[in-house]
């Protein structure tokens, strides 16, 4: 499955084009060359003798490089081209494009090769919301370059375009007039450079234009892959998905200026190539057994930008972990509050969860001691600032009414929180999973306080608070007539009683009473929530249920990975394996790259998962999903200086092994074997998924 767009990225920079390699962006079109939340190229169209080209194939060479094979149009349904055109593009501080044209005739050919170029310098928020620009555009030809610029007061951006073969330049194009001999070829390279301080400043050439640039990037990827555990199994598509996940996670490594050159996972392409609190934390949790260094950087970077004051414009409080950091024009002029913006109610508790889980895996007590102040501030935020109603629960309500997020939980679309009949509650809201995260953070914070910070009194207090929260939660959120947990409480203390996948996050957090766990699992795996591909975000039959509604019926792979982890926590191994099998089966249809979300239609009525039209892909926590599912399938849990392995693979997998798993134990191997002979796997697995 594909959205028809070609995407290449390298952390801070990405290019989205059509299948020809061309870019023709409208204001609301997410194609172009982007860096640091600005579109630096909105037009990049190649013509030969005035004709557009037709795509033959696209080679996905690497996450940062692709190659387009093209031919001129013929005007008929038959293609009998005498020329072929190859565009090889690699991203990194802009991009380098290597253009090669081959003449297949036995006589010379004269050609006019033209690149039309332009930039709207749109802020990513302007692209999403179709907003007009307020600054001044400049285009000029100087020093053999086409220089495109934008200025608004002190905010300056520029795109510099040059070629290795002389071209005729004007303010919107580069033109080459060439002759190619019989069966000969012609080539040039074009460098497109992004400049954050305008075209009057020094700039670096694209990475691939530098000596050894490609080898350096290839070596970096090779080191990344070699450092991850090696997967062996008899499920071919799982191996493909695993490698795709590792490569995409490498591509999504983002080095913001605030991180001191270190990398953390950006949230996703195209809208969220920046630092996020919630997304970076969840992805780091998923990837801990594979690349624990991501978690360390995430913890340090988010700690550096932890809230220090009360700021209503940014929804900031002391101790609060940021939601999102942006670098574009609208943020610079405070037309958006993202410098950074703190409007999420879950990242602060999850910060403590990640810190504890990181230490359990790595044994890195130094980082826990270094971040003691940040962790204590986060725990204090839960009690002093998040309890808006004074009843011991975590609530949210935006203070920035113009541009702040209404829903500050992971289901952050406007209609995601509703009663069973579909009506929406008022604000503030206390969603159920926020209480689970708070409970988990207090339990984990108590362990850190007792074992590492050497503060037993603080540990005792946190454990007392956690126990009280669990008791009250199981009383106030339990829907008696449905035997599941309400999605939220409203300001009157009434249950917002839609049945949703949030129940699975409660299992992961550990806040569910053991006596209630089986009934929660029955809902998660029942026909209203489980589609056969995965658990829907909202149960079929609820007032707002829609199988292609963003948070009201779609299946989110990330959501399912944490539900599976929760099922394992409460001992429901087979159910966790069933979720893993459904999501990993779906990954086959997406060529190993799970999207942000896909349709929640029942599997028996669709031969493949239905694509959600605007899903981010790749997206960090979807990329991390296969990694966490592997952890749940193998039952990997750190216990002191040892790694416990308790495998329960899905029915139909004969053998799965993860070799060289890094952690405080050094590197160890984990093995699992299913209940079916290898030769029976494929037929039986498909039979089981169809409910036969």
One DSSP character per residue, 506-567 reads: HHHHT-S-HHHHHHHHHHHTSTTTB-SSSBBSB-TTSTT--TTSTTTT-B-HHHHHHHHHHH
Q: What count of residues does the chain have?
A: 692
Return the CATH number of 6-201, one of 2.40.170.20, 3.40.50.720, 2.70.98.40, 3.40.50.12780: 2.70.98.40
Instruction: Dump strand ranges (E) for 164-211.
Output: 168-170, 173-180, 185-195
> What is the rounded distance in angstroms from the CA atom of residue 67 to the CA atom of residue 685?
36
Domain with CATH 1.50.10.10 in the chain: 238-689
Residue 275, pLDDT score: 85
Can you read off the two tokens belonging to residue 210?
Answer: 């530098």
Residue 638 is predicted with a pLDDT of 97
Residue 63 token pair: 């996450």
Q: What angle do CA 403, 322, 32 make, to 5 degrees?
A: 65
Phi, then psi, of 536 in degrees rounded to 5 = -70, 155
> Hunting for tokens 């951006």 — which residue is that?
157
Q: Which of 570, 433, 566, 405 is nearest to 496 (CA)?
A: 433
Distance of CA 538 to the CA centre of its chain: 21
User: Where, residue-wise, is CATH 2.70.98.40 in the chain?
Assistant: 6-201
pLDDT for the residue numbered 273: 79
pLDDT at residue 148 in the model:
96
Return the closest-CA partner of residue 159 out of 213, 197, 104, 107: 197
- Write the CATH number of the domain with boundaries 238-689: 1.50.10.10
- Contact yes or no for 28/41 (Cβ under 8 A): no
pLDDT score, position 617 = 80
pLDDT for 255: 76
Residues forming a β-bridge with 58: 68
Residues 6+ apart with CB under 8 A from 56: 69, 70, 71, 84
User: Mean pLDDT for each 10-residue chunk of the chain (692 residues)?
Assistant: 75 90 85 92 96 92 92 66 94 93 96 97 80 88 93 94 96 97 97 79 66 81 94 93 94 73 76 87 97 95 97 97 92 90 98 98 98 98 98 97 94 97 98 98 98 98 98 98 98 98 98 98 98 98 97 98 98 97 95 95 92 85 97 97 95 91 96 65 46 36
Integer distance in angstroms from the first to the last C-alpha of the chain? 26
């Amino acid at each position: 499955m594909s959205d028809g767009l070609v995407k290449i990225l390298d952390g801070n920079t990405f290019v989205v084009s059509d299948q020809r390699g061309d870019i023709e962006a409208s204001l609301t079109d997410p194609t172009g060359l982007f860096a640091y939340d600005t579109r630096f190229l909105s037009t990049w169209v190649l013509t030969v003798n005035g004709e557009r080209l037709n795509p033959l194939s696209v080679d996905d060479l690497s996450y940062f490089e692709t190659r387009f094979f093209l031919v001129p149009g013929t005007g008929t349904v038959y293609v009998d081209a005498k020329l072929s055109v190859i565009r090889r593009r690699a991203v990194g501080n802009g991009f380098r494009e290597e253009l090669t044209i081959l003449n297949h005739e036995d006589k010379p050919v004269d050609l006019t090769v033209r690149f039309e170029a332009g930039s709207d310098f749109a802020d990513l928020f302007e692209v999403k919301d179709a907003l007009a620009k307020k600054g001044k555009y400049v285009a000029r030809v100087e020093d053999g370059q086409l220089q495109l610029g934008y200025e608004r007061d002190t905010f300056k951006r520029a795109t510099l375009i040059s070629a290795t073969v002389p071209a005729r330049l004007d303010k919107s194009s580069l033109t080459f007039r060439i002759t190619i001999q019989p069966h000969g070829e012609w080539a040039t390279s074009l460098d497109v450079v992004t400049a954050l301080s305008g075209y009057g400043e020094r700039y670096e050439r694209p990475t691939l234009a530098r000596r050894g640039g490609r080898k350096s990037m290839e070596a970096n990827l090779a080191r990344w892959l070699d450092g991850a555990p090696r997967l062996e199994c008899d499920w071919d598509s799982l191996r493909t998905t695993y490698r795709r996940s590792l490569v995409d996670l490498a591509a999504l490594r983002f080095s913001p200026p605030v991180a001191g050159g270190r990398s953390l996972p950006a949230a996703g392409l195209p809208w969220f190539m920046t630092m996020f609190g919630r997304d970076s934390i969840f992805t780091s949790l998923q990837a801990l057994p594979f690349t624990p260094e991501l978690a360390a950087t995430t913890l340090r970077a988010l700690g550096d930008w932890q809230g220090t004051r009360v700021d209503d414009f940014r929804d900031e409080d002391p101790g609060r972990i940021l939601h999102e950091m942006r670098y574009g024009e609208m943020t610079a002029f405070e037309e958006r509050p993202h410098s950074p913006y703190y409007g999420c109610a879950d990242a602060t508790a999850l910060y403590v969860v990640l810190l504890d889980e990181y230490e359990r895996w790595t044994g890195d007590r130094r980082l826990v001691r270094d971040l003691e102040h940040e962790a204590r501030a986060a725990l204090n935020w839960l009690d002093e600032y998040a309890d808006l109603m004074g009843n011991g629960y975590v609530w949210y309500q935006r203070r920035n009414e113009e541009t702040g997020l209404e829903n500050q939980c992971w289901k952050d679309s406007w209609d995601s929180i509703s009663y069973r009949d579909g009506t929406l509650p008022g604000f503030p809201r206390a969603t159920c999973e926020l209480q689970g995260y708070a409970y988990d953070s207090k339990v984990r914070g108590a362990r850190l306080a007792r074992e590492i910070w050497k503060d037993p009194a603080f540990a005792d207090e946190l454990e007392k608070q956690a126990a009280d929260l669990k008791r009250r939660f199981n009383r106030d959120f339990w829907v008696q007539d449905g035997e599941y947990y309400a999605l939220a409480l409203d300001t009157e203390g009434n249950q917002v009683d839609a049945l949703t996948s949030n129940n699975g996050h409660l299992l992961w957090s550990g806040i569910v009473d053991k006596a209630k766990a089986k009934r929660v699992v029955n809902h998660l795996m029942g026909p209203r929530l489980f589609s056969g591909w995965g658990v829907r975000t909202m149960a079929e039959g609820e007032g707002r249920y829609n199988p292609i509604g963003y948070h009201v019926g779609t299946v989110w792979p990330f959501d399912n990975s944490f539900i599976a982890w929760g099922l394992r926590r409460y001992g429901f191994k087979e159910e966790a394996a069933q979720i893993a099998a459904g999501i990993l089966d779906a990954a086959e249809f997406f060529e190993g790259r799970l999207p942000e979300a896909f349709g929640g239609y029942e599997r028996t009525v669709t031969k493949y998962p239905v694509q959600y039209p605007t899903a981010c892909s790749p997206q960090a926590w979807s990329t991390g999903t296969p990694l966490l599912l592997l952890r749940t399938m193998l039952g990997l849990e750190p216990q002191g200086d040892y790694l416990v392995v308790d495998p329960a693979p899905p029915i139909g997998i004969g053998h799965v092994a993860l070799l060289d798993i890094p952690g405080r134990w050094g590197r160890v191997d984990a093995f699992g074997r299913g209940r079916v002979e290898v030769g029976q796997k494929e037929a039986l697995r498909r039979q089981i998924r169809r409910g036969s």
